[in-house]
Structure 1
Amino acid sequence: MDLILSDLHSNLHALRAVLRFARRRAIHRFVLLGDLVGYGAHPNQLLDKVRELRPRFMVRGNHDKVCAGLEPDSSFSLPARQAADWTREKLRQDNWRFLVDLPVGPLWVGEDYQIAHGSPVDEDAYLLHMREISQAFDAFECQLCFFGHTHLPGCFELDEIQGRLNWISPEPGEWFELQAHCRYLVNPGSVGQPRDRDPRVSFMTFDPKRRRLRLHRLDYDVKGAAKAILAAGLHRNLADRLGQGI
């Protein structure tokens, strides 16, 4: 069983909820889709936890690049820029090096599936519109690619017999079976900053042998995470949005 996590965004409180879930179910295979840092107040503590997990596979996100100083923050909003600057100043050298060394997606996870941050075409692209989604399906060869970046959980399903593209929102806790005649772009949602108006942590488990996945939503200490953001002097918007799931 693989645990698929994306967009942790330095939210240690949220990650702790995921780790409790993993321990209870004895899950030890972690796959990360990028944006480990940015926005939240605990970049070093979260990265320490991630490194302890020894994830099977990881790709970098746009916030990882900016916080590591690999790219400018010109495309970021004011709260995001301030958080990136603050994170860059706070990062320990070992954690900075960890971010710098994160691989670029798309990346194969064994022979089972691929992972990307934004899109298999462009790691910074948002998969929201038909044109970008169609291009993304053309850019990977296997049945399944997990991606993050939008913070919105769900599946784009391409029926190769009927040539139809569907958006599917799996019910939390229920297994979703992959169909042999379909291909999938799947977003597990965000651990650290959900944006589908549900503040609960969002992530997925995937069973490669049975070709099925499951969405999970967990409560966590949202107030604690928000208080930490304010105590760090980061923008209030980053704290307020956690409780609203936006």
Structure 2
Amino acid sequence: MRLALLTDLHANREAVEACLAHAEGQRVDQYAFTGDFVGYGADPAWVVQTVMDYVGRGAVAVQGNHDYSVTRPVRPQMHAEAREVIEWTRSQLDSDQMGFLAELPLTRKHGNAFFVHASAWEPIRWEYVTGVEEAERSLKASRSRIVFSGHVHAPALYRRADDGRMGSHVPQAGRRIALQPQHQYLVLPGAVGQPRDQNNAACYAVFDDEDRSITYFRVPYDHGAAARKVIAAGLPIVFAMRLVEGI
């Protein structure tokens, strides 16, 4: 089975459409969405409905911190721009879409695979996995051979060898990476809707469980149109600039 891995869609219709179209060309059999379907972008209703439709056809989906926040009282420590987007997003979603986000699980396990938005170690803490220490903590907590997550908005791959040694790898777009069966892996596909690695092309990955490989992709999309829609919606301009600059 070939599994498309999409995370941090962030209400960016243009990026999501581009990645889904690209995935169809990769002979993908199924999809997994690891959270943050709302926040920052101008099309939360369309993105949430799209994920709902894919879940209805068997896709995996877990809850991200933005999905969690939009269905609960706003935390006082949240900065003003984030609160503004959350409150606006609530006004854009219907009751079915809000219910879908609220009921999403924090984690899903399927066979040897574990799906989580942030870290498998206390998922509700929304820890950023930015190095081998956090990656090892997530892998140990999952007890699964492979963990798929997101949250950091940049593509990365971590490995925990059978002797416990940790390693990391910066994946190259379009290059197949073979995964060894005796090791554990943490796969971060990068963000579909808001990349933050100085590259404004959308990110996603495809896992092939038959030949045990992972391939990361960068998909150019009309980020200018997405940015203009953010501004037209009256959302903070910084979220539009991020799409253009990839930061």
TM-score range normalised by the length of the shorter chain: over 0.9
Q: Within 2, Cα distance between the matches of 1:160 and 1:28?
A: 30
Shift of 1:157: 1.1
The question of whether the paired residues in 1 share the 8 Å contact of 2:34 and 2:64 is answered with yes
Report the TM-score when normalising by structure 2: 0.92
Q: Please give the residue correspondences for 1:80-99 in structure 2 after superposition, counting only pairs within 5 Å.
A: 80-99=82-101
Letter in 1 for 2:168: W
Q: Within 2, Cα distance between the matches of 1:130 and 1:92?
A: 40
2:147 pairs with one of 145, 148, 154: 145
The question of whether the paired residues in 1 share the 8 Å contact of 2:226 and 2:240 is answered with yes
Partner of 1:66: 69
The question of whether the paired residues in 1 share the 8 Å contact of 2:155 and 2:189 is answered with yes
Superposed CA offset, 1:112-152 (max 9, x none): 31111110012211112444333222201121101111111
Shift in alpha-carbon separation, 1:73–1:219, aligned structure 2, 3 A: farther
- Runs of 4+ in structure 1 over 3 Å off: 73-77
Task: State percent identity of aligned pairs.
Answer: 32
Q: Please give the residue correspondences for 1:1-246 in structure 2 after superposition, counting only pairs within 5 Å.
A: 1-54=2-55, 55-69=58-72, 71-105=73-107, 107-109=108-110, 111-123=111-123, 124-161=126-163, 163-246=164-247
The question of whether the paired residues in 2 share the 8 Å contact of 1:144 and 1:184 is answered with yes
2:193 is paired with a residue whose SS is coil
Superposed CA offset, 1:36-68 (max 9, x none): 111110011111222222352111000001112
1:186 is paired with a residue whose SS is strand
Shift of 1:101: 1.4
Letter in 1 for 2:67: D
Q: Within 2, Cα distance between the matches of 1:174 and 1:113?
A: 22
Gaps of 5+ in 2: none
Letter in 2 for 1:121: W
Q: Which moved more, 1:189-198 or 1:15-24?
A: 15-24
Letter in 2 for 1:231: A
Shift in alpha-carbon separation, 1:130–1:155, aligned structure 2, 3 A: closer
Q: Within 2, Cα distance between the matches of 1:37 and 1:11?
A: 8
1:119 is paired with a residue whose SS is coil
2:74 is paired with a residue whose SS is coil
Give the count of matched residue pairs. 242
Shift of 1:21: 1.1
The question of whether the paired residues in 2 share the 8 Å contact of 1:22 and 1:28 is answered with no
Report the TM-score when normalising by structure 1: 0.93
Shift of 1:234: 0.2
Letter in 1 for 2:189: P
Shift of 1:209: 1.7
